[in-house]
Amino acid sequence: MPSAARVPRPSLVPALAALTLLPLLPLLAAAPAEAAGGWSVAPSGGGRPTFYAEGTPGTVQQDTVSVTNRGARPVTVRLSGTGVRVTFARPRLSVPARTRADVPFTVAVPADAAPGDRAGTVTVRDGDGRTATVPVRLRVAGPALSALTVEHLAVHADRITYELVNRGTTVLVPRLAVRADGLFGPVLQRAPRTLPVRLPPGRRLRLDEPWPDRPALDAVDVRLTVTASGGARDSASASVRLVPWGGVATGATLAAGAATAFVVRRRGRRTTGSEARPPCVEAESTGVLT
């Protein structure tokens, strides 16, 4: 694709060249993608089997697709793109008999795209469901940077949770190593292993690491180390005091019950002692002698 423009995507379609209809006089030089209905699709200009675009993240590339109707009747088609961000000047059009329609379109390179190759298609479909496609090859230019961070590490009842963030420009397949040290030595040690995830640039992923046999009572320092190809590496640590709160609560309940029973018993003794002694009655002087 010969041209590139760093302009906001919403203003692209008005800037595209107008749809062009040409009588079908010379045949196209490139082998078009033929549909059963007597029409075909090919990159405009001939000689290209595929569309090709190259640009840095945030740029927009322009090209033109030709829909050729060799039949004796008009054909109405819809245009769409897959795999890459394609915007057509006319996503639906009617092509007269023995006429070629040239439709401009753009391919947008996402601002967060990692350097490398992307594959897509331009697909044209008629009213009867017949389709023809042309491959689209997009190359995202730019330096390849591999970087990640490990964040929000936390220890729970039976697992360790954390987040991975891709801070670079390449897709990462992370490898995780886990280690936890208690007061008397290691309580968890897992060798590096590849995680079953792919982390695109700029993405954040919340993950967890099972720990079903976590100590019930200990002071533990947990450390996660994550690496990936290209030199990406980061680690995170967390310290936690593990206390069997259920046992503590049960002990507290028992202690409270024992204390209550003790108080009740003491009160019972006081009441019993007071009932055993005869009551003390004081005589009241009335001032009359008998």
Which among 227, 166, 160 has a CA at the least distance from the CA of 191? 227
Q: What is the pLDDT of residue 263?
A: 46
- Mean of pLDDT over the chain: 81
Q: Are 177 and 224 in contact (CB under 8 A)?
A: yes
Cα–Cα nearest to 103, from 83, 82, 73, 81: 81
Residue 288 lies in a domain: no
Which domain-ending residue is among 106, 140, 174?
140
Q: Label residue 67 by pLDDT band (50, 70, 90).
A: very high
Are 114 and 16 in a shared domain?
yes
Q: What are the phi and psi torsion angles at 243 (to 5°)?
A: -130, 130
* 266-281 average pLDDT score: 49
CA distances from 157 to 184, 216, 224 (A): 20, 9, 17
The domain containing residue 231 runs over which residues? 148-242
Instruction: Report the pLDDT averaged over residues 214-243.
Output: 95
Q: Does residue 257 lie within any of the structural domains?
A: no
Assigned domain for 278 exists: no
Q: Strand pairing partners for 225?
A: 177, 235
Same domain, 50 and 136: yes
For residue 219, what is the enclosing H or E element?
Answer: strand 218-228
Q: For residue 230, what is the domain's CATH number?
A: 2.60.40.10
- Nearest Cα to 95, choosing from 121, 136, 124? 124
Q: pLDDT tens for residues 3-54?
A: 444 433 434 444 455 677 777 554 444 456 766 568 999 999 878 899 999 9
| Pair (68, 179) in one structural domain | no
Q: Name the DSSP letter for residue 200.
A: -
pLDDT in tens, 116-165: 889 999 999 999 999 999 999 999 988 888 999 999 999 998 999 999 99
Please report whether residue 69 resides in a domain: yes
In whole angstroms, how far apart are CA 229 and each of 94, 116, 140, 167?
Answer: 50, 15, 19, 13
* Domain-terminating residue out of 91, 119, 140: 140
- Residue-level pLDDT at 193: 97
Residues 158 and 187 placed together within one structural domain of the fold:
yes
Domain-embedded: residue 262: no
User: Does 82 lie in the same domain as 162?
Assistant: no
pLDDT digits (tens, 9 = 90+) for 238-258: 999 988 855 544 444 444 455
Looking at residue 128, the DSSP 8-state letter turns out to be T
Residues 134 and 152 in one domain: no
Residues 32 and 123 in one domain: yes
Is 187 found in the same domain as 118? Answer: no
pLDDT for position 38: 86
pLDDT tier at 113 (50, 70, 90 boundaries)?
A: confident
pLDDT recorded at residue 144: 83
For residues 126 and 173, membership in a common domain is answered with no
Does residue 284 carry a pLDDT above 60?
no
Cβ pair 120, 134 in contact under 8 A: no
Query: In this structure, are 159 and 52 located in the same domain?
Result: no
User: Looking at the domain assignment, is residue 26 inside a domain?
Assistant: yes
pLDDT band at 290 (very low <50, low <70, confident <90, very high): very low
pLDDT-based confidence at 267, cuts 50/70/90? low
Same domain, 103 and 161: no
Yes or no: say if 127 and 114 are a contact pair by the CB < 8 Å rule.
Answer: no
The dihedral built from the CA positions of residue 21, 22, 27 and 30, taken in this order, carries a sign that is negative
pLDDT score at 170: 85
Q: Are strands 51-55 and 131-140 parallel, antiparallel or unpaired?
A: parallel
Total of domains in the chain: 2
State the pLDDT at residue 192. Answer: 97
